[in-house]
Structure 1
Amino acid sequence: MTKVLVVDDHPIVLQGCRRVIEDIGACDVREAATLVSAYRNFHRLKPDLVIVDLGMQGRSLGGIELIRRLRLDERKFGILVFSMHGDPIVVRRALDAGANGYLLKDSEPGDLREAILKVRSGQTYLAHALALEVAMLGTRKKRDPIDDLTNREIQVLTLLSEGHQYGQIADELEVSYKTVANTCSHIKSKLGVTTLPQLVRLAVKWLGQTENRPEASRVLAGSRRG
Protein backbone atom coordinates (compact mmCIF):
# COMPACT_ATOMS: atom_id res chain seq x y z
CA MET A 1 0.00 0.00 0.00
CA THR A 2 1.44 3.36 -1.06
CA LYS A 3 1.23 6.06 1.59
CA VAL A 4 1.37 9.69 0.49
CA LEU A 5 1.61 12.93 2.47
CA VAL A 6 0.57 16.14 0.67
CA VAL A 7 1.84 19.38 2.24
CA ASP A 8 0.13 22.54 0.99
CA ASP A 9 -1.88 25.34 2.58
CA HIS A 10 -4.29 25.74 -0.36
CA PRO A 11 -7.41 23.52 -0.05
CA ILE A 12 -7.99 23.40 -3.81
CA VAL A 13 -4.45 22.13 -4.41
CA LEU A 14 -4.86 19.53 -1.67
CA GLN A 15 -8.10 18.27 -3.22
CA GLY A 16 -6.61 18.16 -6.72
CA CYS A 17 -3.56 16.23 -5.57
CA ARG A 18 -5.71 13.78 -3.64
CA ARG A 19 -7.80 13.00 -6.73
CA VAL A 20 -4.75 12.35 -8.91
CA ILE A 21 -3.05 10.25 -6.23
CA GLU A 22 -6.13 8.13 -5.56
CA ASP A 23 -6.64 7.63 -9.31
CA ILE A 24 -3.20 6.04 -9.62
CA GLY A 25 -3.76 3.67 -6.74
CA ALA A 26 -2.44 5.26 -3.54
CA CYS A 27 -4.52 3.84 -0.71
CA ASP A 28 -3.56 6.12 2.16
CA VAL A 29 -3.39 9.86 1.51
CA ARG A 30 -2.84 12.35 4.33
CA GLU A 31 -2.79 16.14 4.15
CA ALA A 32 -0.98 18.87 6.08
CA ALA A 33 -1.55 22.61 5.79
CA THR A 34 1.27 23.76 8.08
CA LEU A 35 4.95 22.94 8.42
CA VAL A 36 4.45 21.73 11.99
CA SER A 37 1.61 19.37 11.09
CA ALA A 38 3.58 18.17 8.06
CA TYR A 39 6.52 17.12 10.22
CA ARG A 40 4.21 15.48 12.77
CA ASN A 41 2.18 13.60 10.14
CA PHE A 42 5.36 12.49 8.39
CA HIS A 43 6.50 10.60 11.47
CA ARG A 44 3.03 9.18 12.11
CA LEU A 45 2.34 8.04 8.55
CA LYS A 46 5.88 7.14 7.44
CA PRO A 47 4.91 7.87 3.81
CA ASP A 48 6.43 6.46 0.66
CA LEU A 49 6.00 9.82 -1.07
CA VAL A 50 5.79 13.42 0.15
CA ILE A 51 4.40 16.13 -2.13
CA VAL A 52 5.34 19.54 -0.77
CA ASP A 53 4.79 23.18 -1.68
CA LEU A 54 7.65 25.59 -0.98
CA GLY A 55 5.56 28.58 0.09
CA MET A 56 3.86 27.84 3.40
CA GLN A 57 2.30 30.11 6.04
CA GLY A 58 3.69 33.27 4.48
CA ARG A 59 7.22 31.84 4.32
CA SER A 60 8.19 31.95 0.66
CA LEU A 61 10.64 29.04 0.84
CA GLY A 62 9.66 27.34 4.09
CA GLY A 63 9.19 24.06 2.26
CA ILE A 64 12.93 23.80 1.58
CA GLU A 65 13.70 23.72 5.29
CA LEU A 66 11.00 21.06 5.71
CA ILE A 67 12.66 18.94 3.01
CA ARG A 68 16.00 19.18 4.81
CA ARG A 69 14.40 18.06 8.08
CA LEU A 70 12.58 15.15 6.44
CA ARG A 71 15.81 13.95 4.84
CA LEU A 72 17.26 13.42 8.31
CA ASP A 73 15.06 10.32 8.39
CA GLU A 74 17.01 7.33 7.10
CA ARG A 75 14.02 5.66 5.48
CA LYS A 76 13.80 5.52 1.71
CA PHE A 77 11.00 7.73 0.40
CA GLY A 78 10.41 10.19 -2.43
CA ILE A 79 9.89 13.95 -2.23
CA LEU A 80 8.16 15.82 -5.04
CA VAL A 81 8.02 19.62 -4.93
CA PHE A 82 4.79 21.03 -6.38
CA SER A 83 5.24 24.79 -6.44
CA MET A 84 4.67 28.07 -8.28
CA HIS A 85 8.37 28.96 -7.88
CA GLY A 86 9.91 28.53 -11.33
CA ASP A 87 13.23 30.26 -10.66
CA PRO A 88 15.98 27.72 -11.48
CA ILE A 89 17.95 28.88 -8.44
CA VAL A 90 15.02 27.93 -6.20
CA VAL A 91 14.64 24.62 -8.04
CA ARG A 92 18.33 23.86 -7.51
CA ARG A 93 18.04 24.66 -3.80
CA ALA A 94 15.08 22.30 -3.45
CA LEU A 95 16.93 19.50 -5.23
CA ASP A 96 20.05 20.09 -3.14
CA ALA A 97 17.91 19.92 0.01
CA GLY A 98 16.77 16.43 -0.96
CA ALA A 99 13.82 16.65 -3.37
CA ASN A 100 13.63 13.92 -6.03
CA GLY A 101 11.39 15.86 -8.37
CA TYR A 102 10.08 19.35 -9.08
CA LEU A 103 6.85 20.30 -10.86
CA LEU A 104 5.30 23.71 -11.42
CA LYS A 105 1.67 24.19 -10.40
CA ASP A 106 0.68 25.50 -13.82
CA SER A 107 1.61 22.14 -15.39
CA GLU A 108 -0.96 19.86 -16.98
CA PRO A 109 -2.70 17.24 -14.78
CA GLY A 110 -0.99 14.52 -16.79
CA ASP A 111 2.39 15.94 -15.80
CA LEU A 112 1.48 15.67 -12.12
CA ARG A 113 0.48 12.05 -12.64
CA GLU A 114 3.78 11.30 -14.41
CA ALA A 115 5.82 13.09 -11.74
CA ILE A 116 4.10 11.19 -8.92
CA LEU A 117 4.60 7.83 -10.61
CA LYS A 118 8.29 8.48 -11.28
CA VAL A 119 9.18 9.83 -7.85
CA ARG A 120 7.13 7.12 -6.13
CA SER A 121 9.12 4.47 -8.01
CA GLY A 122 12.46 5.96 -6.98
CA GLN A 123 13.20 7.94 -10.14
CA THR A 124 13.77 11.66 -10.49
CA TYR A 125 11.43 14.05 -12.28
CA LEU A 126 12.15 17.46 -13.77
CA ALA A 127 10.43 18.91 -16.83
CA HIS A 128 12.84 19.23 -19.76
CA ALA A 129 12.68 23.03 -20.00
CA LEU A 130 13.22 23.43 -16.27
CA ALA A 131 16.06 20.91 -16.30
CA LEU A 132 17.81 22.96 -19.00
CA GLU A 133 17.47 26.15 -16.95
CA VAL A 134 18.91 24.46 -13.88
CA ALA A 135 21.76 23.03 -15.93
CA MET A 136 22.53 26.48 -17.33
CA LEU A 137 23.05 27.92 -13.85
CA GLY A 138 26.62 26.67 -13.82
CA THR A 139 27.43 28.45 -17.08
CA ARG A 140 26.09 31.88 -16.12
CA LYS A 141 28.41 34.67 -15.19
CA LYS A 142 27.99 35.41 -11.51
CA ARG A 143 26.02 38.58 -10.82
CA ASP A 144 26.03 40.71 -7.72
CA PRO A 145 22.85 39.66 -5.84
CA ILE A 146 22.31 43.30 -4.86
CA ASP A 147 21.61 44.10 -8.51
CA ASP A 148 18.21 42.39 -8.21
CA LEU A 149 17.04 44.52 -5.28
CA THR A 150 14.86 47.63 -5.53
CA ASN A 151 15.92 50.94 -3.99
CA ARG A 152 13.63 50.38 -1.00
CA GLU A 153 15.03 46.88 -0.49
CA ILE A 154 18.58 48.27 -0.56
CA GLN A 155 17.58 50.84 2.05
CA VAL A 156 16.18 48.18 4.37
CA LEU A 157 19.10 45.80 3.84
CA THR A 158 21.63 48.55 4.54
CA LEU A 159 19.90 49.52 7.78
CA LEU A 160 19.84 45.86 8.81
CA SER A 161 23.60 45.71 8.23
CA GLU A 162 23.97 48.66 10.63
CA GLY A 163 22.19 46.76 13.39
CA HIS A 164 18.75 48.40 13.18
CA GLN A 165 15.65 46.50 14.30
CA TYR A 166 12.41 46.44 12.28
CA GLY A 167 10.85 49.21 14.36
CA GLN A 168 13.89 51.44 13.98
CA ILE A 169 13.96 50.86 10.23
CA ALA A 170 10.26 51.76 10.02
CA ASP A 171 10.94 55.04 11.85
CA GLU A 172 13.99 55.80 9.71
CA LEU A 173 12.14 55.27 6.43
CA GLU A 174 8.81 56.60 7.73
CA VAL A 175 6.90 53.46 6.85
CA SER A 176 4.95 50.93 8.88
CA TYR A 177 6.48 48.01 10.75
CA LYS A 178 4.48 45.65 8.52
CA THR A 179 5.97 47.25 5.39
CA VAL A 180 9.48 46.60 6.71
CA ALA A 181 8.62 42.99 7.58
CA ASN A 182 7.11 42.40 4.13
CA THR A 183 10.11 44.00 2.43
CA CYS A 184 12.47 41.73 4.36
CA SER A 185 10.43 38.72 3.25
CA HIS A 186 10.86 39.79 -0.38
CA ILE A 187 14.60 40.30 0.12
CA LYS A 188 14.98 36.86 1.70
CA SER A 189 13.21 35.30 -1.26
CA LYS A 190 15.44 37.11 -3.76
CA LEU A 191 18.67 36.31 -1.92
CA GLY A 192 17.78 32.68 -1.21
CA VAL A 193 17.70 32.76 2.59
CA THR A 194 14.89 31.75 4.92
CA THR A 195 15.59 33.35 8.31
CA LEU A 196 16.26 36.86 9.59
CA PRO A 197 19.67 35.93 11.11
CA GLN A 198 20.78 34.62 7.70
CA LEU A 199 19.60 37.84 6.07
CA VAL A 200 21.42 39.99 8.62
CA ARG A 201 24.65 38.05 8.05
CA LEU A 202 24.36 38.64 4.31
CA ALA A 203 23.55 42.31 4.90
CA VAL A 204 26.69 42.74 7.00
CA LYS A 205 28.76 40.82 4.46
CA TRP A 206 27.55 42.79 1.44
CA LEU A 207 26.57 46.18 2.83
CA GLY A 208 28.27 46.45 6.20
CA GLN A 209 30.48 49.23 4.85
CA THR A 210 28.25 51.28 2.58
CA GLU A 211 31.13 53.42 1.42
CA ASN A 212 32.24 50.33 -0.50
CA ARG A 213 28.81 50.22 -2.16
CA PRO A 214 28.25 53.57 -3.90
CA GLU A 215 24.74 52.61 -5.02
CA ALA A 216 23.70 51.60 -1.52
CA SER A 217 25.19 54.77 -0.04
CA ARG A 218 23.37 56.96 -2.56
CA VAL A 219 20.00 55.29 -2.06
CA LEU A 220 20.25 55.32 1.73
CA ALA A 221 21.36 58.95 1.83
CA GLY A 222 18.44 59.90 -0.37
CA SER A 223 15.98 58.19 1.96
CA ARG A 224 17.37 60.04 4.97
CA ARG A 225 17.14 63.41 3.25
CA GLY A 226 13.54 62.66 2.24
Structure 2
Amino acid sequence: MTPIRIILADDHSLIREGFKAILGQSDRFVIVAEPQNGVELVEFALSTKPDVILTDLSMPRMNGFEAMDEIRKADRDVKFVILTMHEEREYILRAIKAGASGYLLKNTERIELEHAIITVHEGGKYFSPSINNILAEAVLRPDGGEVGELTAREKEVLELVANGHSTKQIADMLKISIRTVESHRINMLKKMKVNNSAELIRKALELKLL
Protein backbone atom coordinates (compact mmCIF):
# COMPACT_ATOMS: atom_id res chain seq x y z
CA MET A 1 0.00 0.00 0.00
CA THR A 2 1.39 3.38 -1.01
CA PRO A 3 2.00 5.57 2.07
CA ILE A 4 0.01 8.77 2.49
CA ARG A 5 2.40 11.65 1.86
CA ILE A 6 2.03 14.30 4.54
CA ILE A 7 3.26 17.83 5.17
CA LEU A 8 3.40 18.67 8.88
CA ALA A 9 3.37 22.43 9.47
CA ASP A 10 3.89 24.03 12.88
CA ASP A 11 6.18 26.74 14.19
CA HIS A 12 7.09 24.75 17.31
CA SER A 13 9.76 22.11 16.74
CA LEU A 14 8.65 20.03 19.73
CA ILE A 15 5.13 19.82 18.31
CA ARG A 16 6.43 18.74 14.93
CA GLU A 17 8.75 16.16 16.43
CA GLY A 18 5.98 14.81 18.62
CA PHE A 19 3.48 14.27 15.84
CA LYS A 20 6.20 13.03 13.51
CA ALA A 21 7.07 10.36 16.07
CA ILE A 22 3.39 9.42 16.43
CA LEU A 23 2.86 9.05 12.70
CA GLY A 24 6.18 7.26 12.34
CA GLN A 25 4.72 4.31 14.23
CA SER A 26 2.72 3.35 11.14
CA ASP A 27 3.93 2.57 7.62
CA ARG A 28 0.71 4.14 6.30
CA PHE A 29 2.27 7.60 6.52
CA VAL A 30 5.40 9.41 5.39
CA ILE A 31 6.32 13.00 6.28
CA VAL A 32 7.62 14.76 3.17
CA ALA A 33 8.18 18.24 4.67
CA GLU A 34 8.08 20.05 8.02
CA PRO A 35 7.58 23.79 7.36
CA GLN A 36 7.90 26.16 10.32
CA ASN A 37 5.77 29.00 8.96
CA GLY A 38 3.08 29.74 6.41
CA VAL A 39 5.45 30.88 3.68
CA GLU A 40 7.43 27.64 3.90
CA LEU A 41 4.17 25.68 3.92
CA VAL A 42 3.12 27.19 0.60
CA GLU A 43 6.55 26.55 -0.92
CA PHE A 44 6.70 22.92 0.22
CA ALA A 45 3.09 22.23 -0.74
CA LEU A 46 3.71 23.37 -4.30
CA SER A 47 7.02 21.52 -4.64
CA THR A 48 6.20 18.19 -2.95
CA LYS A 49 2.52 17.77 -3.90
CA PRO A 50 1.46 16.04 -0.66
CA ASP A 51 -1.68 13.96 -0.20
CA VAL A 52 -2.62 15.60 3.09
CA ILE A 53 -1.42 18.75 4.84
CA LEU A 54 -1.50 18.85 8.63
CA THR A 55 -1.21 22.46 9.68
CA ASP A 56 -1.59 24.77 12.64
CA LEU A 57 -3.44 28.06 12.15
CA SER A 58 -1.21 30.39 14.15
CA MET A 59 2.16 30.60 12.42
CA PRO A 60 4.65 33.41 11.69
CA ARG A 61 5.10 35.18 8.34
CA MET A 62 1.82 33.81 7.00
CA ASN A 63 -0.93 32.19 9.09
CA GLY A 64 -2.60 28.90 8.27
CA PHE A 65 -5.66 30.51 6.69
CA GLU A 66 -3.57 32.59 4.30
CA ALA A 67 -1.38 29.62 3.43
CA MET A 68 -4.44 27.48 2.66
CA ASP A 69 -5.78 30.15 0.33
CA GLU A 70 -2.50 30.37 -1.56
CA ILE A 71 -2.12 26.61 -1.88
CA ARG A 72 -5.68 26.04 -3.05
CA LYS A 73 -5.22 28.60 -5.80
CA ALA A 74 -2.65 26.25 -7.32
CA ASP A 75 -4.10 22.91 -6.24
CA ARG A 76 -7.82 22.58 -5.51
CA ASP A 77 -7.47 18.88 -4.72
CA VAL A 78 -5.09 19.16 -1.79
CA LYS A 79 -6.54 17.93 1.51
CA PHE A 80 -6.13 19.89 4.75
CA VAL A 81 -6.43 18.71 8.35
CA ILE A 82 -6.13 21.49 10.91
CA LEU A 83 -4.14 20.55 14.00
CA THR A 84 -4.41 23.38 16.51
CA MET A 85 -5.22 24.52 20.04
CA HIS A 86 -7.92 26.90 18.76
CA GLU A 87 -11.38 25.56 19.52
CA GLU A 88 -13.26 28.83 19.10
CA ARG A 89 -16.24 28.74 16.76
CA GLU A 90 -14.92 31.46 14.46
CA TYR A 91 -11.64 29.62 13.86
CA ILE A 92 -13.44 26.38 13.04
CA LEU A 93 -15.94 27.91 10.64
CA ARG A 94 -13.26 30.00 8.94
CA ALA A 95 -11.06 26.92 8.48
CA ILE A 96 -13.89 24.95 6.93
CA LYS A 97 -14.73 27.86 4.64
CA ALA A 98 -11.06 27.98 3.60
CA GLY A 99 -11.22 24.34 2.57
CA ALA A 100 -10.24 22.25 5.59
CA SER A 101 -11.61 18.69 5.54
CA GLY A 102 -10.56 17.92 9.09
CA TYR A 103 -10.12 19.79 12.36
CA LEU A 104 -8.36 18.34 15.40
CA LEU A 105 -7.08 19.75 18.65
CA LYS A 106 -3.44 19.13 19.53
CA ASN A 107 -4.36 16.92 22.47
CA THR A 108 -5.77 14.33 20.07
CA GLU A 109 -4.84 10.68 20.54
CA ARG A 110 -2.78 8.74 17.98
CA ILE A 111 -5.70 6.57 16.84
CA GLU A 112 -7.90 9.60 16.20
CA LEU A 113 -5.12 11.42 14.33
CA GLU A 114 -4.46 8.43 12.08
CA HIS A 115 -8.19 7.92 11.47
CA ALA A 116 -8.65 11.58 10.58
CA ILE A 117 -5.79 11.54 8.06
CA ILE A 118 -7.01 8.36 6.39
CA THR A 119 -10.62 9.58 6.29
CA VAL A 120 -9.67 12.89 4.70
CA HIS A 121 -7.25 11.23 2.27
CA GLU A 122 -10.08 8.98 1.09
CA GLY A 123 -12.31 11.98 0.41
CA GLY A 124 -14.20 12.20 3.68
CA LYS A 125 -14.27 14.74 6.48
CA TYR A 126 -13.27 14.35 10.10
CA PHE A 127 -13.86 16.62 13.07
CA SER A 128 -13.13 15.67 16.65
CA PRO A 129 -16.21 15.23 18.91
CA SER A 130 -15.78 18.60 20.63
CA ILE A 131 -15.54 20.30 17.25
CA ASN A 132 -18.67 18.49 16.04
CA ASN A 133 -20.55 19.93 19.00
CA ILE A 134 -19.53 23.45 18.02
CA LEU A 135 -20.51 22.82 14.40
CA ALA A 136 -23.91 21.54 15.52
CA GLU A 137 -24.36 24.69 17.59
CA ALA A 138 -23.47 26.79 14.54
CA VAL A 139 -26.22 25.08 12.54
CA LEU A 140 -28.79 25.39 15.32
CA ARG A 141 -27.84 28.98 16.13
CA PRO A 142 -26.64 30.55 12.86
CA ASP A 143 -26.90 34.03 14.37
CA GLY A 144 -23.82 33.18 16.39
CA GLY A 145 -25.53 32.82 19.80
CA GLU A 146 -23.31 34.84 22.08
CA VAL A 147 -23.67 32.81 25.26
CA GLY A 148 -20.77 30.43 25.77
CA GLU A 149 -18.66 31.79 22.95
CA LEU A 150 -16.29 33.78 25.12
CA THR A 151 -13.14 31.94 26.11
CA ALA A 152 -12.20 31.58 29.77
CA ARG A 153 -9.55 34.30 29.38
CA GLU A 154 -11.99 36.63 27.63
CA LYS A 155 -14.43 36.20 30.50
CA GLU A 156 -11.67 37.16 32.93
CA VAL A 157 -10.93 40.28 30.91
CA LEU A 158 -14.65 41.06 30.66
CA GLU A 159 -15.07 40.97 34.43
CA LEU A 160 -12.11 43.27 34.93
CA VAL A 161 -13.38 45.68 32.27
CA ALA A 162 -16.77 45.71 34.00
CA ASN A 163 -15.03 46.51 37.29
CA GLY A 164 -13.50 49.61 35.72
CA HIS A 165 -9.90 48.49 35.30
CA SER A 166 -7.80 49.99 32.51
CA THR A 167 -6.09 47.96 29.81
CA LYS A 168 -2.73 48.34 31.53
CA GLN A 169 -4.15 47.32 34.89
CA ILE A 170 -5.74 44.23 33.35
CA ALA A 171 -2.48 43.32 31.65
CA ASP A 172 -0.62 43.62 34.96
CA MET A 173 -3.23 41.66 36.89
CA LEU A 174 -3.38 38.78 34.39
CA LYS A 175 0.36 38.94 33.64
CA ILE A 176 -0.20 39.31 29.90
CA SER A 177 0.76 42.03 27.45
CA ILE A 178 -1.28 45.16 26.79
CA ARG A 179 -1.55 44.07 23.17
CA THR A 180 -3.08 40.76 24.26
CA VAL A 181 -5.65 42.54 26.40
CA GLU A 182 -6.57 44.79 23.47
CA SER A 183 -6.90 41.73 21.27
CA HIS A 184 -9.28 40.14 23.76
CA ARG A 185 -11.32 43.36 23.87
CA ILE A 186 -11.63 43.43 20.08
CA ASN A 187 -12.61 39.76 19.93
CA MET A 188 -15.29 40.27 22.56
CA LEU A 189 -16.76 43.26 20.74
CA LYS A 190 -17.01 41.18 17.56
CA LYS A 191 -18.49 38.15 19.30
CA MET A 192 -21.06 40.20 21.20
CA LYS A 193 -21.84 42.36 18.16
CA VAL A 194 -21.29 45.66 20.00
CA ASN A 195 -19.20 48.74 19.30
CA ASN A 196 -17.66 49.78 22.61
CA SER A 197 -16.99 48.74 26.20
CA ALA A 198 -20.18 50.28 27.54
CA GLU A 199 -22.31 48.29 25.09
CA LEU A 200 -20.20 45.21 25.83
CA ILE A 201 -20.91 45.42 29.56
CA ARG A 202 -24.61 46.08 28.97
CA LYS A 203 -24.88 43.10 26.63
CA ALA A 204 -22.97 40.89 29.05
CA LEU A 205 -25.36 41.83 31.84
CA GLU A 206 -28.36 41.04 29.63
CA LEU A 207 -26.90 37.63 28.88
CA LYS A 208 -26.01 37.09 32.54
CA LEU A 209 -22.32 36.76 31.76
CA LEU A 210 -21.58 39.13 34.63
TM-score of the superposed pair, with normalisation by structure 1: 0.64
Relative distance call for 1:82 and 1:214 in structure 2 (3 A) is: closer
Name the structure 1 match of 2:119: 118
CA shift digits 1:116-146 (9 cap, x unpaired): 111122211112342132111232364569x
Do 1:78 and 1:120's aligned partners in 2 also have CA atoms closer than 8 Å? yes
Name the structure 1 match of 2:6: 4
AA in 2 matched with 1:181: R
Relative distance call for 1:216 and 1:92 in structure 2 (3 A) is: closer
1:112 Cα deviation from its structure 2 partner: 0.7
AA in 2 matched with 1:183: V
Q: Name the SS for the 1:71 alignment partner.
A: helix
1:72 Cα deviation from its structure 2 partner: 1.6
Q: Name the SS for the 1:47 alignment partner.
A: coil
1:113 Cα deviation from its structure 2 partner: 0.8
Name the structure 2 match of 1:89: 90
- Larger Rg over CA atoms: 1
Alignment length (residue pairs): 185
For the pair 1:21 / 2:23, whether they are aligned, the reply is: yes
List alignment gaps of at least 5 residues for structure 1: 156-168, 194-204, 219-226
1:85 and 1:216 map into 2 onto residues whose CA distance is: 23
1:98 Cα deviation from its structure 2 partner: 0.6
Q: Name the SS for the 2:86 alignment partner.
A: coil
Name the structure 1 match of 2:51: 48
Do 1:89 and 1:137's aligned partners in 2 also have CA atoms closer than 8 Å? no
Q: What is the aligned-residue RMSD (CA, Å)? A: 3.8
1:54 and 1:191 map into 2 onto residues whose CA distance is: 22
CA shift digits 1:133-179 (9 cap, x unpaired): 2111232364569x956459979xxxxxxxxxxxxx98xx9x99x94
Name the structure 2 match of 1:182: 180
1:191 and 1:206 map into 2 onto residues whose CA distance is: 5
Name the structure 2 match of 1:107: 108
Q: Which shows bigger deviation, 16-25 or 6-15?
A: 16-25
Relative distance call for 1:32 and 1:18 in structure 2 (3 A) is: same
2:133 and 2:158 map into 1 onto residues whose CA distance is: 32
Name the structure 2 match of 1:65: 66
Q: Name the SS for the 2:29 alignment partner.
A: coil
Q: Name the SS for the 1:18 alignment partner.
A: helix
CA shift digits 1:42-78 (9 cap, x unpaired): 111121111001122398xx32222222222234121
1:95 Cα deviation from its structure 2 partner: 0.8
AA in 2 matched with 1:65: E
AA in 2 matched with 1:25: R
Q: Which structure has greater helix proportion?
A: 1
Do 1:78 and 1:99's aligned partners in 2 also have CA atoms closer than 8 Å? yes
Do 2:6 and 2:52's aligned partners in 1 also have CA atoms closer than 8 Å? yes
List alignment gaps of at least 5 residues for structure 2: 203-210
1:34 Cα deviation from its structure 2 partner: 1.0
Do 1:8 and 1:53's aligned partners in 2 also have CA atoms closer than 8 Å? yes
Do 1:153 and 1:187's aligned partners in 2 also have CA atoms closer than 8 Å? no
